[in-house]
Structure formats: C-alpha cells, structure tokens
Amino acid sequence: MSLIKFKKQTIPLKGAYLLLLIVFAFAMSLNVNAQLYKKSFWPKRYADKYEVYPDIIYKTVDTTTCKLDVYMPKNAKAVNPVLIFTHGGGWVKGSKDSISIQLTPYLNAGWVVVNVGYRLIDRAPAPAAVEDTRCALAWVYENAAKFKIDTNKIVLTGGSAGGHLALITGMIPLGTSLDKSCIQGHSMKVAAIVDFYGIVDVNDLLAGENKKGYAVRWLASQKDSVKIAALVSPINYVRKGLPPIIRIQGDEDPTVPYSHSLRLKSALDAAGVPNSLYTVSKGLHGKFTKEEMADIYKKVSEFLKLNAGLDYDLAE
C-alpha cells in the first residue's frame, strides 16, 4: 500500500486523505463561524432593541449586486434620524460585514442605521464606489416610510475612504453623471456629514509627495484618471448651502495627509458652510484612544445639536 510520510510517522494513503478532509472541514467551519460572527455581532448585542435587515440589494450592475444592512429600533417612533455609514479600506478592500465601532453611538441613541457596501477595485475602478453610495442615499429616500426614516435627519459618516464617500455623497449636486444609475426624483439632501479622516483631494494622492498606492489603484491607470479624480474629489464641490460638516483627524496621519483637513476647513469657512475640525494631537490614522473617542463623540453631539437640530447624546 502507498504511504505518505508525516515527520517520522507513516499513514496509509486512504487514512491520509481522510485526515486531510477532516482538517479541511475544520478549517472551513472556522471560516464560516468567523463570517457568521461578523454578521451576527450586532444582532446579538442589540437583539432586544433592534430588528436587523441584512444584505438588502439596493443596486445591481451587470452581475454584481450592491448590498446594505438596515438596523431599525424595535420601538421606533413614527420617524427617526438615520445614520448612513460607509466603510473604509482605500476603495480597494474592506466590507460592511466587518462592523465598525463608529456605529455604536448611534445605535445606543436609537437611530436607524444603514450600513452600506459598495463596489471595490476588484469589481470596478473609480468612480464606481461614488455612484454606488449615491444610489444608497437614493435608496434611503425611496424606502424611508418602510423603515420609519426622517429624510430631514439623514447623517452620513465613514472613515478614511468611507469618510471620503460620506463627503462626496453629501456634497455633489443633483444631475451629475455620478447619479446616472440611481433612483431619480429625490432631493438627496442630508442634514450633516461626520467625516473621519476622509480623502478630500484624490488628485493630490496620484503623484508627488502625497502619492498613495491605494488611490493609484482605485483610478486603475484609466486614460482619463486625472479627470475622474477631480470628479470624485470633495474639495471641488465646496460651495454655499452645503450641509454642516464636522471632520476628525490626527495631525500625524500617515495614510491621509492632514493637509486635507486644513484645506477643507479653509474652503468651507470661505464658503460660509457650518463646519468644525477636531484634531487629535499626535493622532495617527484612526486607532484613537477610548478617551479620545469619548471626547470626539461629545463634540459630534454638540455639533449636530447646534447645526442640524439633532439633539442626541452620542456616547460610545
């Protein structure tokens, strides 16, 4: 009989196949359990407070489906504020299933929360992600009654690339090419944007001292990459009448230049847009301390109350 050697022991080939099958099955079970844990973490924690509607398809592009999750308070009022969250990952990685701690304050406050997935670079280059998040916003308007959402109290948030998507989704006007695949007929206005260290100027990251590989990958060496980068850069949409914007960033961020925060604030101030910049001293790309996060959400609460009429204590 044929034999396979493992160190100093020998195992019959048939037995070796059986052993490999057992190991493979065990590994697969760990992977499945890990995925289930990610998807079930929030439902377990908030089981007595929330109904969870996972993996709702809000858009289909060819064979790719874009999905979102909705967390709805069981004892929801007739209408409620809603947080629309977009994950980070440089537009090249990440998932809505890797739940972010940034949702916690809003869940604790009893908001409706919409957690949005979008096309990454493995599915489509820029500007696909922006087209998707604009469509997610349109979907919220279209389904507001079903999920008891107050469309006058829509807040966008996210970190890094998700912060960029929160900014661009709330700042671009109706009628651009970025809305061509979305449900039409809605105002698409939002009450406020809470931006955690989002990219403000995509062109700035394509070359020069601030060049970043993730930005170059997202543009995927498209022939008109400079034009597309400008199309999806929030800094190019600053104007009077934008929703209030609060931005949070560490001044030693190695991933998104802190200069983006300063440039955005200067432009918003010049346009007369209510805004605030919370700088984490010696802070990096997120990973702020518990104390820093507590202070951040205190400032966010104060900002939303003063500028968007949203009086909620957003404590972690």
Task: Report residue 185's pLDDT band, with 50, 70 and 90 as the boundaries.
Answer: confident
> Does residue 283 register a pLDDT over 90?
yes
Decide the pairing of beta strands 275-280 and 112-116. unpaired
pLDDT-wise least confident of 27-36, 130-139, 167-176, 185-194: 27-36
On the question of pLDDT at 313 being above 90, the answer is: yes
Q: Which CATH number fits domain 48-308: 3.40.50.1820, 3.40.605.10, 3.30.300.130, 3.40.50.2000?
A: 3.40.50.1820
Q: Comparing C-alpha atoms, which of 146, 166, 29 is closest to residue 100?
A: 166
Residue spans per domain, the chain: 1-45, 48-308
Per residue in 201-237, pLDDT tens? 999 999 999 999 999 999 988 999 999 999 999 999 9
Read off the amino acid at residue 131.
E
Q: Would the pLDDT of 17 be above 80?
A: no
Which of 32-46, 86-100, 161-175, 179-193 has maximum average pLDDT?
161-175
Closest listed residue to residue 296, CA positions, set 41, 304, 198: 304
Tell me the pLDDT tens digit for each residue of 103-149. Answer: 889 999 999 999 999 999 999 999 999 999 999 999 999 999 999 99
The sign of the dihedral angle between the CA atoms of 167, 172, 173, 174 is negative
Mode of pairing for the β-strands spanning 50-61 and 64-73: antiparallel
Residues 6 or more apart whose CB falls under 8 angstroms from that of 304 comprise: 155, 191, 192, 194, 244, 246, 310, 311, 312, 314
Express each pLDDT in 233-266 by its tens digit.
999 999 999 999 999 999 999 999 999 999 999 9
- Note the Cα 172 to chain centre separation in Å: 17
In this structure, what token pair is assigned to residue 308? Answer: 């968007």
**pTM (2 d.p.):** 0.86
Closest CA to 157 of 248, 43, 95: 248
